[in-house]
Every structure is written in C-alpha cells, then in structure tokens.
Amino acid sequence: MWTSKTISFTLFITTILLASCNASAKAKTQPLFPAILIFGDSTVDTGNNNYPSQTIFRAKHVPYGIDLPNHSPNGRFSNGKIFSDIIATKLNIKQFVPPFLQPNLTDQEIVTGVCFASAGAGYDDQTSLTTQAIRVSEQPNMFKSYIARLKSIVGDKKAMKIINNALVVVSAGPNDFILNYYEVPSWRRMYPSISDYQDFVLNRLNNFVKELYSLGCRKILVGGLPPMGCLPIQMTAQFRNVLRFCLEQENRDSVLYNQKLQKLLPQTQASLTGSKILYSDVYDPMMEMLQNPSKYGFKETTRGCCGTGFLETSFMCNAYSSMCQNRSEFLFFDSIHPSEATYNYIGNVLDTKIRGWLKA
C-alpha cells in the first residue's frame, strides 16, 4: 500500500529525473558559440556574390542549390549546404549562415552571425582583381559595418562579447594559385619559386588574422589548402591527362603551404593575447575520400556532377548542363567545388576537432 510519504518521495525522484533529462537535452542543443562569422572565398560564400554587379563568379542559377530544402539556387557553390552551413548546424548555432550583403537581414540573423566571403577572392589582391570578387582584404570593412549593426541591436558591451566568443572561420587560398600563380606568367616571373609566393600569401593571411583580432575576434579557425592537383579543373588543364590522374606537383605545393601555415599559426596566436587559433585541415580528409571513395559512398572522384564535370563551374554550370543521377556519389559537384556529401564528411571531421579545441 502506498503511503503519502512514499508518493511524495516518488514524485520527488520523478521531478529530479525529468529535470536531469531536460538539462541533458538542453546541453545537447545549446550553441557552442554565440555566433559564427565567415570570411574567404567560394568554399564558404553563402551568396554575397549575388549582389555586387561586377562579380564574375555566381551560383544564383540552377543546378546550384538543387538539394537545398526549397531546391532553389541562392549563391552557394554546391548542390546543397556548403561548409559554412554544415559547421554552423553541427555546433547548434543555426541551419544556414546568411550572406551579409543579403537585403533585409533580421536582427536575429545578425546576432547569430553572417558570412562575408566572396567567390573568386584570395589573400592576394591581384587574384580578386582578376575575378572582380570582394577582396579578402576588403571583407573586414564589411565586418565593421556588421559590428555597427550588431551594437545597435544589443548594445556595445554585449556586441563585443558576442564577437569575442564567436567562431570565426577563414577559408581562402586556392584561388591565389589556381586562378593566379599557375595561370599568370608575369606573377611567376616576380616569384620564380612557388615557395616565395606561398610566403607572400601567408604574410597576407597573417596580417588578415591580426586585423580580425584588432576588431575583437578571438576564436579563429583558419583553413589550409585542399589537394589542388586533384580538382577536376586542374586535371583538365593538363590536356594530355586523359587518364584523369591528380597532378602531384600541385599537391606537393598544397602540402608545403599547409606545413608552413601550421608552423605560422601558433606563432600568430602567441603574439595575440587571449586568442585561440586553430588550423583547419581539409587536405587529409579530401585525400582520404579520394583514395578510399567507396568507404564514403563515392563512385566518381575525377570529375564534377554538372555537365562533363571537366570544366563547368559558375556560369558554365547552368540549366543547359547535363546532371549526374546520384549527386551523393560524386565527390565534386562542379569542376572545382565539392558536393554536399563531401562537405558533410569534412564538417564531421572538423566538428570533432573544434569540440576538442574548446576543451583544451
């Protein structure tokens, strides 16, 4: 027989258990950062290039965005979510990161972070001049406008607290080589050794990180280079490459650059009091998928899903292009940019690394 004391005790235990479950669920959905702020190129551009009239590279047309919830292109260079959205989702910040230049951004979108990246941009201003992208060196000016808007919403003190604790993602570099150094003879005459040009680019990157720090950023994730020699468009550039193999010299260039970057970032962090700077390795996850495609569900790694997959990107990948049947089986969506499936795997790897970084 149940006594009043037994019932009271049972209710007490039930209440404690429910509270514990609620706390656990809340912890799992709690954002790991108050906001996400993104700078760089097309690997993270969520649509800024839709707005300036001069930009050459755009993805505001089908088949880009075909696997997004509304199946509508919005400026992301893939079939679905790109790295910006995937990492923001995994860290419980938001599902999609809006471009800062998008008109009518809500206050909530501003508070939880935006993207300043521009497709075709590079650390070298010459790269962005060639592509008419918003230069990486110009993106802090957009950030300053963002800070002013954020302060008008939450006040100066809270705004700086959000920025101090936001995850800042910096992803650029490939365009400096693919669209610039490898393609422009005058640049190679100025920097006969690619190592010298890498040092120039890394110096620009270092100054960029320091500028972000001066504006309040403290937790910064900096991306390295992918295996550039395995990008379909680079394989196509070697006309005799009928077997579609990776260009080993360009991959070695990526490895050397990444080694230098990994050595540089701890030095930069040591010089910026209170900063935490993490190297984002995209080379190894990409090589893992390239070398073991079936393990990740891929059947095609040497061409993109759009058109022939050899050259098509941006305006060349369009409504008239043929399309692969199963996009999740392609490592690349167009001749340069990964598919959503690829971004998902890279996001999983970096999500684990970021969580470990936070505990360190």
Handedness of CA 72, 76, 79, 80 (dihedral sign): negative
Q: Identify the H or E element spanning 145.
A: helix 139-154
Cα–Cα distance for residue pair 228/335, rounded to 1 Å: 12
**CA-closest candidate to residue 309, choices 297, 296, 319, 321:** 321
Residue pair 304/244 in contact by the 8 Å Cβ criterion: no
* Closest by CA position to 86, among listed 356, 280, 315: 280
Is 118 among the residues known to form the active site? Answer: no
Closest CA to 220 of 210, 229, 228, 230: 210
List 41, 118, 335, 337, catalytic entry: 337
Mention every residue, 6+ apart, whose C-beta is less than 8 A from residue 61: 73, 315, 318, 319
Confirm if 299 and 293 have CB atoms less than 8 A apart. yes
Q: Tell me the β-bridge partners of 300.
A: 330
Query: Residue 237, Cα to own-chain centre: how many angstroms?
Result: 25
Strand partners, 167: 36, 219
Q: What letter represents residue 124's amino acid?
A: D
Catalytic residue check, 334:
yes
Catalytic residue among 78, 118, 334, 339: 334
How many angstroms separate the CA atoms of 288 and 296, rounded?
Answer: 9
Q: Distance between CA atoms of 313 and 281, rounded to whole angstroms?
A: 24
- How far apart CA 152 and CA 292 sit, in angstroms, is 50
**How many Cβ atoms are within 10 Å of 224's Cβ, its own excluded?**
22
Cα distance between residue 220 and residue 275, in whole Å: 8
339 is catalytic: no
**β-bridge pairing 330-332 and 300-304:** parallel
DSSP assignment of 53-116: TT------STTTTTTSTT----S-SSSS--HHHHHHHHTTS-S---BTTSTT--HHHHHH--B-
The residue among 71, 84, 46 whose CA lies nearest residue 327 is: 71
Catalytic residue among 41, 42, 78, 280: 42
Any idea which residues carry the catalytic annotation?
Answer: 42, 334, 337
